[in-house]
């Protein structure tokens, strides 16, 4: 059975969606850079080993990433899942896990990388917003896209309402992608995400809907 590790920084709602999905693998650890991350307690309640490595205790980003990598490697995971892990990772760390490091980002990349994505979407006036699961590369939120889910942006939306609708899709999309990887169907090949047996969706989404 393949093994995976989840990295979090906060409440861990995407972590919980992964754990609730009965993935074809074993979650061998949940690791956070914040000792008070609420998701640690949630994971521990499920009997999953948890570790906190406080990034504030390290003199440099490189030192923290080295300690994090050493901890991860102790669990010998096949897959590392970033689930709300709010750290910019060094190139060396990313390359260490190349092809087995995934992230979910709350926008339709390449639009709106970084933080405050929902505010960015509202300010830009886009009609569609959503989330993206991608392989992690040294380019911030710039790795090969695996899958995306979109929601309409409504005239009455604010950051809270839009974020809530996107989060529902995050919780559905991330476990699906993790399952593909753990089943051996998903891989990084020549800088592109390749999914065996991919079935393209039919039709198109129009927002606003045509009369």
Catalytic residues: 105
With a CB cutoff of 8 Å and minimum separation 6, the contacts of 147 are 132, 133, 173, 176, 177
**C-beta separation of 65 from 40 below 8 A:** no
Tokens describing residue 204: 């198109």
- Of 53, 50, 76, the closest CA to residue 66 belongs to 53
Is 144 within 8 Å of 191 (Cβ atoms)?
A: yes
Distance from C-alpha of 42 to C-alpha of 6, rounded to nearest angstrom: 13
Q: Tell the residue number behind the tokens 């994505």, with chain if given.
A: 117
How is 77-142 classified by DSSP, letter by letter?
-SEEEESS---PPPHHHHHHTTTSEEEEESS-TTSS-SS-HHHHHHHHT-SEEEEEEEE--SSTT-
C-alpha 79/C-alpha 181 separation (Å) is: 8
């Amino acid at each position: 059975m393949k093994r995976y590790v989840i990295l979090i920084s906060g409440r861990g709602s995407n972590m919980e969606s992964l754990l609730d999905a009965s993935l074809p693998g074993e979650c061998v650890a949940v690791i956070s850079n914040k000792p008070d991350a609420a998701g640690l307690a949630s994971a521990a309640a499920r009997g999953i080993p948890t570790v906190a490595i406080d990034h504030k205790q390290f003199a440099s980003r490189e030192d923290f990433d080295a300690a994090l990598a050493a901890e991860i490697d102790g669990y010998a995971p096949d897959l590392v899942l970033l689930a709300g892990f709010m750290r910019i990772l060094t190139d060396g760390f990313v390359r260490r896990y190349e092809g087995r490091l995934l992230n979910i980002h709350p926008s339709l990349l390449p639009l709106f990388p970084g933080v405050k994505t929902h505010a960015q979407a509202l300010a830009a006036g886009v009609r569609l917003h959503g989330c993206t699961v991608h392989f992690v590369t040294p380019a911030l939120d710039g790795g090969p896209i695996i899958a995306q889910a979109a929601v309409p942006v409504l005239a009455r939306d604010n950051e809270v309402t839009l974020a809530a609708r996107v989060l529902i899709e995050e919780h559905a999309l991330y476990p699906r992608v993790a399952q593909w990887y753990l089943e051996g169907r998903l891989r990084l090949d020549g800088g592109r995400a390749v999914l065996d047996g991919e079935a393209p969706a039919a039709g198109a989404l129009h927002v606003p809907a045509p009369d």
